[in-house]
Amino acid sequence: MSWLSTKTAFTTPPGCPITIKGWVRTNRESKAEGGLCFVAVSDGSSFDAIQCVVKGNLSNFAEVQKLTTGCAVEVDGQLVQSQGKGQSVEVLVDSAQGGAVRISGLVEHPDTYPVQNKRHTFEYLREVAHLRVRTNTFGAVARVRHCLSMAVHRFFHERGFFWVHTPIITGSDCEGAGQMFRVSTLDQMNLPRTPEGKCDYTQDFFGKESHLTVSGQLNVETYCCALSNVYTFGPTFRAENSNTARHLAEFWMIEPEMAFCDLMRDSQIAEEFIKYCVNAALTQLPDDMKFFDERIEPGLLARLKHVLDTPFRRLPYTEAVKIIQDAMAKGKKFEFQVKWGSDLQTEHERYLTEEHFKQPVILMNYPKQIKAFYMRLNDPGTDGAPGDTVAAMDVLVPKIGEIIGGSQREERLDYLDRRIEEMKLPAKEYWWYRDLRRYGTVPHAGFGLGFERLILFVTGMQNIRDVIPFPRAPKQAEF
C-alpha cells in the first residue's frame, strides 16, 4: 500500500492499492450490501475530499460507523472507479482485499466540535481560527495563499531580482507610513527616566527607541543601488486603529525596487506582476478557483480573465479629476467634492475602476502635496497640471480599490533635501538614505503591494481577516 495524497490519488489510474491519511469531512451510512459507510477524507492537498467506501466486513466497522466530522484516520483500500455519481474515483475498503481503517484520533465529544458539517459564517469561524482551515473555504484560501507566495518569488526570480530580507525591527522612526509598534525590553512598571522626566531609551535593548517596521522600502533602496533589481516580501506592522475589511495590524508586503527605472517601466512591471499572479492561481488551482467562482464571488473567473486579457488603463491624476468632475456635472452623486490637489476618496477610485473604465486603472503623477517626500518631482506642466506633481502611481482594481502604490524615487539630492525641509522631517535621521544620492545616485523606482489585498482580489473573499491564517487587528490577537 503506498500512501498517496488525495491530490495524487485523483490523478492516479484506478486499480491499485493505496493508503489515504487525513481528517473526516463527512460520514454517511447505508444498510445496503451488509452495511456500507461513505467516509469523505480530506488531507488538504486538493479541494475535494476523497470518498472512502468502507464495507461492513471490517473488524472495527462499528467504530467506523461512529466516525464524525474532524476525526483523523488512515485508510487502506483499492483505488477504484466510483459506482456512484459525484466523484470519478473512490477508495474501496474491503477486508477481503486487505482494506482497513485505522483511527488515529477521534473527536471525543462531537457535539462540541466547532466546525459542524454545515454552513458557518466567516465571523464565527474567525473565533475558531485554529480549526477553520478544515473547511472548504479556508482550505482553498490557504492553498491560493501558498500558490501566490510562490508566484511572487518566481515572478521576480525569473526577471533577475534578488530577494532582500529587510529588517523587522527598525531603529528609524522616519519610515513615514503610519503609527508604529514599539519594541522594548524595559520594565513598563518601572521605566528609567531622563532628567527631563521622559523615558530614557538609552537604557533600552537597542540603546534607542525602536519599532516594528512599517515598510522595507528605504532599506531595500540601498540594495537596489548595488544589485539593481531587488524586492522585499515579509511581514509589516501598522499600529493604526483601522477597523475595516481591508486593513490588518500585521500583514505581508511585497516591495520591488528597480535601478535605472522610470515611472512608466515601474507601472509596466506592476501590471505584469498582477497578471502573473492571477494566471498562477487560475492555472495551478483550478478546483479552488472554481469554488470561489461558484460560492464566494459569482463571476470571479470572468472578472479575472478580463484582467488578464486587457491592458491596464494608464491615466494622469489630472485627467482623473476631470473625469470625476464631468461625471458630477452629469448628475453622478459623490459624498465628497473633487478639485485638483485633493486626494481622491475611495468612492472616486471605485467609480473610475468599477464604473467608468470597468478594468484596472493606473493613476499617475499626483500633486506633490498629497504624496511622500521621497517621490520624484516632475517637470513643471507635466500632463498640463496646474501645480507641481510627483512621479507617483496607484494601481486601482475593481472590488479592492488601491492595490498597489508606487513611485519613481527622487534621486537628486538637492530636490530631496528641499522636500525633507518642506515637510519638516528630521533630516539627520535620513543620513544613510541621503548617502545613496551622494554616492553614485541613479534614477530608480518601485512599488508596494499588500499581499493579503492581492489574495482578496484573486479569491473574491470580502474580509482581509479571512485570507491570513491568524489575523491581527485592533482588539484581536487571539491564537
Partner RNA sequence: UCCCUGAUAGCUCAAUGGUAGAGCGACCGGCUGUUAACCGGUAGGUUCCAGGUUCGAGUCCUGGUCGGGGAGCCA
Query: Could you tell me which residues come within 8 angstroms of residue 3 by beta carbon, excluding any fewer than 6 positions away?
Result: 18, 19, 20, 21
Which of these segments, 1-9, 111-119, 151-159, 357-365, binds RNA (CB under 7 A)? 111-119
Handedness of CA 56, 57, 61, 67 (dihedral sign): negative
Q: Could you tell me which stretch among 32-40, 143-151, 289-297, 354-362 binds RNA (CB under 7 A)?
A: 32-40
Using CB under 7 A, pick the residue from 73, 141, 164, 248 that binds RNA.
248
Instruction: Among 145, 238, 368, 437, indicate the residue that binds RNA (CB under 7 A).
Output: 238
83 in contact with RNA (CB under 7 A):
yes
**Under the criterion CB under 7 A, does residue 30 sit at the interface with RNA?**
yes
Closest by Cα among 150, 388, 435 to 276: 150
Rule CB under 7 A: which of 304-363 touch RNA?
336, 343, 345-347
- What is the phi/psi pair of residue 352, to 5°? -65, -50
The region of 122-130, 198-206, 313-321, 409-417 touching RNA under the rule CB under 7 A is: 122-130
By beta-carbon proximity to RNA, the closer residue of 43 and 204 is 43
Q: Which amino acid is at 235?
A: P
In whole angstroms, how close is the CB of 381 to RNA at the nearest point? 26
- Interface with RNA (CB under 7 A), residue from 102, 104, 124, 207: 124
Q: Which three cell numbers stand for residue 267?
A: 507601472
Sorted by sequence, the CB contacts under 8 Å of residue 336 that are 6+ apart come out as: 345, 347, 348
**Between 259 and 403, CB nearer to RNA:** 403
Task: Report yes or no: 323 and 356 within 8 Å, Cβ to Cβ.
Answer: yes
Amino acid code (one letter) for 86: G
- CA 252 to CA 423: how far, in whole Å? 28
How is 253-282 classified by DSSP, letter by letter? EEEEEEES--HHHHHHHHHHHHHHHHHHHH
Q: Binders of RNA among 425-444, rule CB under 7 A? A: none
What's the closest the beta carbon of residue 351 comes to RNA, in angstroms? 11
Residue selected from 7, 38, 100, 413 as contacting RNA according to rule CB under 7 A: 38
**By CB under 7 A, residue 181 contacts RNA:** no
Partners of 450 in the β-ladder? 253
Q: Which of 13, 32, 185, 198 binds RNA (CB under 7 A)?
A: 32
Distance from the Cα of residue 267 to its chain's centroid:
20
Cβ neighbors of 311 (< 8 A, separation 6 or more) are 271
The beta strand positions in 203-312, using DSSP E, are 211-212, 229-237, 250-259
Sole binder of RNA in the list 16, 28, 193, 355 (CB under 7 A): 28
Number of H helices, E strands in the chain: 13, 17
User: Which span sits near RNA by CB under 7 A: 161-169, 219-227, 284-292, 469-477?
Assistant: 469-477
What is the distance between the alpha carbons of residues 118 and 121, in angstroms, rounded to a whole number?
A: 10
95 contributes a contact to RNA by CB under 7 A? no
Q: Which one of 29, 173, 297, 417 is in contact with RNA (CB under 7 A)?
A: 29
Q: Which residue among 8, 26, 45, 279 contacts RNA (CB under 7 A)?
A: 26
Residues 367-406, mask of contacts with RNA (x by CB under 7 A): ----------------------------------xxxxx-
Binding range to RNA, per CB under 7 A, among 3-11, 150-158, 266-274, 463-471: 463-471
CB of 214 to RNA, least distance (A): 8
The C-alpha atoms of residue 428 and residue 426 are separated, in whole angstroms, by 6
Q: Which stretch binds RNA (CB under 7 A): 1-9, 36-44, 272-280, 410-418?
A: 36-44
Residue 453 as a binder of RNA (CB under 7 A): the answer is yes
